[in-house]
Amino acid sequence: MHEDVDLGHTLAGWTGWALALTGTAVAGVGMCVWRPGIPLGLAICALAVVVTWVLHLVGWGKPAGPRPREQWDWRIRDIEARTGHPGCAGCRLAGRVPPPAAAEDRTPGDRAPDGGALRPAGGLPVVPSPARPAVPPVGEGAL
133 assigned to some structural domain: no
The string of pLDDT tens digits covering residues 113-136 is 555 544 444 444 444 455 555 555
Count Cβ atoms below 10 Å from residue 122 Cβ, excluding itself. 8
Could you tell me which of 79, 13, 86, 96 has the C-alpha nearest to residue 52? 13
The string of pLDDT tens digits covering residues 74-87 is 778 887 888 888 88
Structural domain tally of the chain? Answer: 1
List the domain range (segments joined by +) for residue 17: 11-76
User: What whole-number distance in Å separates Cα of residue 48 and Cα of residue 37?
Assistant: 16
The string of pLDDT tens digits covering residues 94-118 is 888 776 664 445 454 555 555 554 4
| Cα Dmax for the chain | 65
